[in-house]
Amino acid sequence: MDANDTLKTPESTLGSRAWTQALTSPLMLGLLALLGVQILAAIGLSLGGRGSLTPTSIDSPLMAFDSKSVTAIRIEGGSEGPVTLAKADQGWVIADLADFPADGAKVDQLLEKLAGLKRPLPVATSPEAQRRHKVADEGFERRVTLEAGDKPVATLILGDSPGFRRTFARPAGESVVYDLDLALFDASNRQDDWLARDNLRLGQETIERIGSGDWALVKADGNWGLEGSDQAPDEAAVNGLLNRLASLSFRGVLGSEDKPEYNQSAPMLEIALGLAGGTERQYRISQAQDGEDLVLKVSDRPWYYKLSELDLEGLKDLSRDKLLGTEPAEAEVVPADTEPAVPEDSATPAEGAGEPTAEAGSVPSDAPEPTVEAEPPVEESPATPQDQ
């Protein structure tokens, strides 16, 4: 062994011992512990509590709830709303619209979509990002709350759309923002979007009598007849009327309260239906004041419906003559100052009428006119005494 190495070994040993003592000193151990706490705190903040960014949370259900136990859906946000869809004995209804029947298939579709949402990769977690994507607690496009009984079981906040049928969203109580395969329209806050549009529809076979004004159609032994007439009604007119009444549509629902502006005391049209089993249904249609909308009240429904002229096409101008097919065709009215039309094959005098029409062999119209020499003036003879 070299003498120099022998001399350096004690110094190296002393240096290692000094470092070991320094690292195991109470001060150093305390600093290391503090550093560990700070690292753990930073990791906890980055994960955002419930909105965990760990790989195990990817593809897990976004919201845990039993869709069959949901009894109400409340949709808030936007310029309209809120809309509350409630489960009743007869199915889903719009609680904010006097329990008008809702489109049950559409409600079930929304619940199915919400229950099937999975957690994708996060988009952001910061409060600033929540505001930017419009999913903050105080600034959002929609907030959908699901209830079971009177207890909320899940709430999803919807914001801007990053693309077709996609929406930024955030489960309430979490900080993580996701880009979900969900259209904002799926959670519409408009009552009209949830209406059961078949609320007035009837089976044509159930209609046995139709009456309005001075006419009434009655079905006997499968054949339709017009009361007070031995003539059979026009089959096309009757079928058109049946189809229109059986599939009567509407634009919206105004609620269940009668209002003076509906003008129902002065109806423009009333139709009475006799249905199979002895039941009846009356339609009263009026022109709303200060507007183009028509208002319909149905005797066996508590609501007032909003109609348009298109909904009443083929109903407003019905008459006995139209149902019999004997209505005279409207004669074309010719203004008094209009000259009668002249057939194309008749000789129509043009400008210069009276002039002979050029025939074969005649001089063309553009040929120069022949020069006519003037005759010399005739001198008058002096008057004779007899002429005087």
| Every domain of the chain and the residues it spans | 67-194, 204-324
Q: Across residues 311-328, what is the average pLDDT?
A: 86
How many Cα atoms are found within 13 Å in the side-chain-facing hemisphere of 290? 2
State the pLDDT at residue 339: 54
State the pLDDT at residue 18: 62
Inter-residue contact 296 to 199 (CB < 8 Å): no
pLDDT band at 32 (very low <50, low <70, confident <90, very high): confident
Does the pLDDT at position 199 exceed 60?
A: yes
Average pLDDT value over all residues in the chain: 81
State the pLDDT at residue 58: 80
204-324 CATH choice from 1.10.3470, 2.30.30, 2.60.40, 3.40.50? 2.60.40
Sheet of strand 294-298, all strands in order from the earlier edge strand to the far edge: 223-226, 215-220, 207-212, 269-275, 280-287, 294-298, 304-307, 252-255
What does pTM read for this prediction? 0.70
Closest CA relative to residue 47, chosen from 176, 232, 236: 176
Does the pLDDT at position 350 exceed 80?
A: no
Buried b (16+ CB within 10 A) or exposed e, 296-310: bbbeeeebbbbbeee
Does the pLDDT at position 225 exceed 80?
A: yes
pLDDT band at 382 (very low <50, low <70, confident <90, very high): very low
Report the percent of the chain where pLDDT is more than 70.
72
pLDDT band at 89 (very low <50, low <70, confident <90, very high): very high
Q: What angle do CA 190, 195, 198 make, to 5 degrees?
A: 160
pLDDT digits (tens, 9 = 90+) for 285-299: 999 998 889 999 999
Does the pLDDT at position 340 exceed 80?
A: no
State the pLDDT at residue 330: 54
